[in-house]
Each structure stands twice: as C-alpha cells, then as structure tokens.
Amino acid sequence: MVQTVLDSGRVSDLSAIRGVYLKAFRIMLLARLLEEKLASLYRAGKMHGGVFIGRGQEALSVSIGLSLREGDIFAPLIRDQAGRLAFGEPLLDAVRTYFGSVLGPMRGRDGNVHRGRPRQGLLPMISHLGAMIAVVNGALLARRLKGIQGTVGVASVGDGATSTGAFHEALNQAAVERLPLVLVIANNQYAYSTPNSRQFACASLLDRARGYGVEGHGVDGTDLIECLRVVGQAIARARAGHGPQMVVAELLRLCGHGEHDPADYVDPQLKNSRLGRDCLKVAEEFLLEHGWADATSLAEWREETQRTVEEAIAQVQREPTPDPFKESWVALSSRHLCETHEEEVPNPGADI
Amino acid sequence: MSITYLEAIREAQARALAEDPRVFIYGQDVGAFGGAFKATKGLAQEFPGRVIDAPISEDAIVGLAVGAAIEGMRPIVEIQFADFSTVAFNQIVNQAATFFWRTNLPCPITVRLPCGGTLGSGPFHSQTMESVYAHYPGLIVLTPATVEDAYSMLLEAVAIDDPVIFCEHKLLYYHLKAETLPTEALPVGRARIAREGRHLTLVAYSAMVHEALAAADELKTEGWDIEVVDLRSVKPLDTDTVMASVARTGRLLCVGESWPWGGVTAEVITRVASEGFALLDAPPARLNAKDTPVPFHPNLWAAHRPTARSIAAAARKLLRQ
Ligand SMILES: Cc1ncc(C[n+]2csc(CCOP(=O)(O)OP(=O)(O)O)c2C)c(N)n1
C-alpha cells in the first residue's frame, strides 16, 4: 500500500504520501497513549505481570503494519503495538490480553504481548527470542505449496535476538528457500541491559544479510517517512520475488526493558544523539512544518485518542476474568486423546 | 541481619568466586547490571573480568561453559529464566551430561535456572524443568527450598565434579528470609524432614515445600500430624529418608509443581510402591500442576499449580482411606 505512493528509492512527491503519513501518525499516537496508560496502570499495581512497551519504535513498527496487506503474515514482537494496530489487530486485543479477559484472543491463558490471531496471519509470539522467524518461513512455504502467490511475511526482532541460533538458522533457511520473508530488526542499541558492544562484533547488522545472501536495507528508525519508504520498499521487493529482505532500523529504546526497569544503564550520549529522538515528536514536527496539521488538530487528535484508550480500558475492566471452574484444562485439540489425571483435586478459588 | 533466598544465591556466588579462581559467571545481563533478578549484583565490580555478559545465545552459553570446564574451570551459568534453557537443551543433555561417561574427564558446570510460576508470568516465564533434566543420566538436579539450602547447595554445586542443574524458585527470591547464612549443611543427596508427623508423609521440593507446610498447618487444626519431607535434591533422590518417613506414617502424598506425566513425583511413588509396598496403609498419591502450559491470569495460575488448599484436600482424601 505504501509502495504505491513511495517510489522505490526516494520520496518523489510529498503530497502523495500525505494520507499514509497521517494515518501512520494517528496509529503511532494511539499506540503511544495506550502504552502510556498501561504503564501507569502498572505503576499503580493494577496489572498482572509485566508491561512491555515500544516507546520510540512506533515509526518503524507502524511502517510494517501499513506496508502489509490483508493475507500477509506478521510476527510482531514486544515493541510492535503500533505495527499490530496498523496490521489490523483490534485495540481491544491488546487491552484484553493484558487484563486476561476471557473475551480476548488469548482468553487469559497467555498475557500482555503474547497474543495474536493466527487465522488472520498475525502470529502469537512466544517469549523465546528468534523463535518466530522460522514459523513465518513455514507459513510462507505453505503458501507456495498451496499455489498462493504475492503474499509476504514479516518477522520483527531486536538487536539481541540476532545472537540466537534460531535467528541464524531461520535466516539461512529463508535464503535457501528464497522465501518472501522480510526480517525487520529494530536495533535499539540494548538488549535489556546489554549494549550492542557485548552483543555482536560486526560493523553493521546489515553484514548479517550479506552473509546469508539476503538483501539488506538500513533506515533511520526515528524518521517516519524514511521508515515508510524503506520498509515499504523491502516488502515490495519480497513481494516481487527478490527473496528474503532484511531491514535494520537504527533507533533507541526510549523506555526500560519493561516498566519494572528504570534503564539507568542507557548511555546519556546516546539519549542525546539523533538515535535518541522521539519518532512521534519528529513526526509531529514534520506535520506542523508541512502544514499537514496545526497545533489545534494535534491537540484534538490526542484528546480523541486518549478517550478511545480510556474507553477500551474501562470496557475491558468490566469484562469477565477467567473462571478456573469453567476452564477446560486441556492442551490438545484431540479431546478424546487427552488424559485425565486422577490425583487432581479440583483447586479453583485458591487464595491469591 | 536477615538475608533472602536471592541474596543467599548472590552470597554463595561471591564466596565461590572469592575462594576458587577457577570459578567464573556467564549469562545475559549478569555483569554491571547484576542479572535480571539481581542474583549477581555487584559481583562484576568485585571480581573484575570474572562475571561476563553473554549474548542472547543459550546454546553457546552452555557450550562455552562445557569447554571451559574441560580446561579445568568451574563456570556458573545463569539462564535468565529456566524456560529459556530449552534453547540450551542440546548442550546440557548431549554435551555436558554425556561428557564424563564418554571421556572419563569430569564436566563441572553449574547451570542456574530461575524456575517456577509467579503471578502473571505466563507460559514462558514460569516453567519448572527439574523433571526433564532429572530424566537424563549424567546430571545432578538440585531444588533448594530454603535460604540455607540455596546458599550451601549452590556452593556444593560449584564444588561437585559433574554438571549440576540448580533450580532456584523465583517465588522464593524476595520473600523467603533467614537470620544468617548457614555454617554447616546436609550434603547434596540427603533429604530433610521439614516437619515431623505421624499420620501422613508429604514429600515436596522447592517452593512446594512451603505449600506443603502450610497444608500441614491447616490439617493440624483438624487433628492430623503431617510429616513433611523436603527432597532438596531430586537427583540424586534420597529414597531412604522418604521410605523411613513412610514407615512411620503409612501414607504418602508427593507434590510437585511440574506436569503430571512422569517426573519427580512419579519417581518417588514408584520407588516407595516397589520397594516399600508393605509400609503403605493406603495407595500412594501425588499432586502436580495441571496438564496444560502455565496460564497467565492469576485465577487460572492459582488453580493450575498445587497450593496449600489443594494439597490439604488431597491429603484429607488419603487420610480417609
Ligand atoms: C531465548 C531467550 N533468551 C532470553 C530471553 C530473555 N529476554 C527477553 S527480552 C531480552 C532482550 C531482548 O533484546 P532485543 O532482542 O534487542 O529486543 P529489545 O528488547 O531491545 O526490543 C531478553 C534477554 C528470551 N526472551 N529468550
């Protein structure tokens, strides 16, 4: 979708991109305000478990979602709230999964960012880093076997995940099979507390692409227009049959690893560098500069978006939480093959 | 002074580093950051160059530890969550566990696994892995339930000439406290009578020891004296202590946080049933987590794992037989 207005290589006509840019901005804003709300609920002790947000990575993430089409595959990771929304994941999926609502896609069984709708091509991440890439490969191979053409799959990872064996195996696999995989790496300079200098020794993660015979694209992850262009281009090339593509976005995680983490290990020099720019602010300035929005409309959007977030949270807080008595407690779809364990004593309602 | 289970783990590592130049620590975020749970807090500063941050490469982390052990070192590996040790499974069960048997050269590595369920942690940050690792020959699997054991067993793990899977329970990290660190301890391989009783033997390990003790308190009010055995080490398993307890009580209930198919509880029951059948006044019973992944929502999680309440219910059933 983005590619139709962004010609490969450079943005030729800004006005042609206006619609996509504004759409992207509104989604980034929604992701940001939702995650700020979840973070504040976490600080108030109102969440189960951790909260993991994508502050500073919305421009990259939204570009993935907007560049994909219905029928494509997307395996987002922890910092992809914006991309999920742009791909079509309902806002309520996020809220319901965080609160463990039975009405959510994970029904309280899995939580927070561990959610998806596999029937719609949105793969539910497991925590184990790097593990989703080969699964995207499998979905793409299946489409080839089924004779379905023109779809692509995106797997999202961080710099840290590039050290996993799973990453290397899956990238090589995609290259050998020449699958339309787009691997988007958010190089946010840290994996939890570990800086890149302790994670890899190549000059650029793009070297990894070359090593596996895959096309690589670098992008400034703080700049929405660049993200839309480069991610869009990589996805278009995969769709056009040029094999796997790797995008490496340079940016900084503008939050802790999770909301429990004050992240005081982040180098202040990085924070003050171009990498540390807030992509949402950069986009706002762009909008004002080009007259695509004024201060009043920005304020209105923010207010409207905040209301949307508050309504979603309020709605989900009224929804039923899982009831252990009603839970089926089976992990197989072949119910007749499930074992029952005689020694199990019904144990709901235990004190928490 | 009071010291937590987590601090005891930190202190044991500090002491191992101080006393043995062959010891080093390797794992994600263990250096200046002090680890995801702060189990290595300050150690990188105190022991420069010997507490090393690893890339997110569990297979290579354990593989490297094996290589260093071959060269005579005593590596302690921290896997950030036990669940991620599955990524290192090959190196643990095929490399480390077979090494001595194949070569006659010991492989003294310690793999620390922050285990077990906590509120809202979900299927990939809650697993208990002791039953899986105990299945493999060539590994020692420890499951400390107390601050004292966390300390003394970790020190012993480092000293042992074989690969040790050290299962520390995250639920105990911050809340479990002791006055001081122990100066002496039961050796690895010996179980402990955590509470004496005469009506029923409750065998547990790791965090389940505390659920079992709470269940025993509850049953006490109903007139039952429950004996609680803390296995401490699930491999080797101290069958003698369990058998002696069953000889006193005639009834056995074994509790574990891992899944019901096979595992530690099944092993305990098999041993008692086959070697001590005559000691039993009722069929031995066991209680495990339910046979699904560990759920995220607290309502489900609390029903998934054994708790004092469900243990007491299972014990009552057995006491009536
Ligand atoms: C195989 C595996 N090992 C360890 C972890 C624990 N862990 C979760 S996120 C994380 C850091 C990830 O860093 P990166 O891939 O750069 O992504 P970022 O958090 O920076 O977005 C770690 C170590 C994990 N999830 N999976």
Query: Rounded mean pLDDT of B99-119?
Result: 97
pLDDT at A242: 98
State the total domains in chain A. 1
- The domain limits of chain B are 3-178, 192-319
* Angstrom distance (rounded) from CA A343 to CA B283: 11
Task: Please say if the pLDDT value at position B170 is more than 60.
Answer: yes
CB A17 within 8 A of CB A23: no
Residue A240 lies in a domain: yes
- The answer to whether the peptide bond before residue A105 is cis (omega within 30 degrees of 0) is no
* Angstrom distance (rounded) from CA A350 to CA B305: 10
CB A53 within 8 A of CB A220: no
Count Cβ atoms below 10 Å from residue B196 Cβ, excluding itself.
Answer: 12
User: How far, in whole angstroms, is CA B173 from its chain's centroid?
Assistant: 13
**3-state DSSP assignment of residue B28:** coil
Choose among A40, A350, A157: nearest CA to B117.
A350
Residue A327 lies in a domain: no
* Angstrom distance (rounded) from CA A254 to CA B241: 54
CA A52 – ligand 1 centroid, Å: 11
Is A307's Cβ below 8 Å from some Cβ in B?
Answer: no
Whether the CB of A198 sits within 6 Å of ligand 1? no
Residue A22 lies in a domain: yes
pLDDT digit string, tens, across residues B247-262? 999 999 999 999 999 9
Q: How far is the CA of A234 from the CAs of A63, A72, A334, in angstroms?
A: 11, 14, 40
Task: Please say if the pLDDT value at position B16 is more than 90.
Answer: yes
Range 75-114 of B in CB contact (< 8 A) with A: 81, 83-84, 86-87
Residue A106 lies in a domain: yes
**Smallest CA–CA distance from A263 into chain B, residue:** B33
Q: Do A165 and B84 touch (CB under 8 A)?
A: no
pLDDT at A349: 44
Task: Please say if the pLDDT value at position B161 is more than 90.
Answer: yes
- We report the CATH number of the domain holding residue A44 as 3.40.50.970
pLDDT at A9: 47
Q: Mutate which of A38, A41, A48, A266 to disrupt the B interface (most B C-beta within 10 Å)?
A: A48
Asked if domains B3-178 and B192-319 share a fold, the reply is yes
**3-state DSSP assignment of residue A75:** strand
Choose among B234, B184, B181, B173: nearest CA to B12.
B181
* Single-letter residue type at A113: V
Total-model pTM: 0.94
* Angstrom distance (rounded) from CA A45 to CA B5: 24
CA atoms within 13 A on the CB side of A306: 7
Closest residue (by CA) to atom 6 of ligand 1? Answer: B80
pLDDT at A13: 77
Q: Do B53 and A109 touch (CB under 8 A)?
A: no
Q: How far is the CA of A121 from the CAs of A68, A155, A240, B305, in angstroms?
A: 11, 12, 19, 33
Domain made up of B192-319: CATH architecture: 3-Layer(aba) Sandwich (3.40)
Name every chain B residue with its beta carbon within 8 A of the beta carbon of A339: 261, 291
* Angstrom distance (rounded) from CA A42 to CA A64: 28
Residue A349 lies in a domain: no
For domain B3-178, give the fold.
Answer: Rossmann fold (3.40.50)
Which is the closest atom of ligand 1 to the Cα of A191?
Answer: 13
CA angle B279, B285, B291 (to 5 degrees): 155
Which is the closest atom of ligand 1 to the Cα of A253?
Answer: 20
Which residues of B does the annotation mark as catalytic? 58, 125
Burial of A342 (0-12, 13-18, 19+ CB in 10 A): exposed
Name every chain A residue with its beta carbon within 8 A of the beta carbon of B261: 339
Token pair 């500090």 is at which residue? B14
Is A196's Cβ below 8 Å from some Cβ in B?
Answer: no
pLDDT at A15: 86
Query: Rounded mean pLDDT of B32-37?
Result: 98
CB B292 within 8 A of CB A329: yes
Q: Do B56 and A106 touch (CB under 8 A)?
A: no
* Angstrom distance (rounded) from CA B187 to CA A161: 40
CB A333 within 8 A of CB B293: no
Reading chain A (352 residues) residue by residue, the pLDDT tens digits are 455 555 544 566 788 899 999 999 999 999 999 999 999 999 999 999 999 999 999 999 999 999 999 999 999 999 999 999 999 999 999 999 999 999 999 999 999 999 999 999 999 999 999 999 999 999 999 999 999 999 999 999 999 999 999 999 999 999 999 999 999 999 999 999 999 999 999 999 999 999 999 999 999 999 999 999 999 999 999 999 999 999 999 999 999 999 999 999 999 999 999 999 999 999 999 999 999 999 999 999 999 999 999 999 999 999 999 999 999 999 999 999 998 875 454 544 444 4
Token pair 């004292």 is at which residue? B148
Task: Render B254-300 in DSSP notation, one character per residue.
Answer: EE-SS-SSSHHHHHHHHHHHHHSGGG-SS--EEE---SSPPPSSHHH
* B110-115: strand order across its sheet: B51-53, B23-27, B74-78, B110-115, B164-169, B140-142, B233-235
* Angstrom distance (rounded) from CA A158 to CA A255: 14
Task: Render B188-244 in DSSP notation, one character per residue.
Answer: TT--EEEE--SSEEEEE-TTHHHHHHHHHHHHHTTT--EEEEE-SEEES--HHHHHH
pLDDT at A352: 40
Which of A199, A200, A324 is opposite residue B303, by nearest beta carbon? A324
Q: Do B314 and A100 touch (CB under 8 A)?
A: no
Whether the CB of A161 sits within 6 Å of ligand 1? yes
CB B86 within 8 A of CB B132: no
Q: Residue A199 sits in which domain range?
A: 2-317
* Angstrom distance (rounded) from CA B195 to CA B197: 7
Q: What is the CA radius of gyration of chain A?
A: 21
pLDDT at A5: 53
* Angstrom distance (rounded) from CA B85 to CA B115: 10
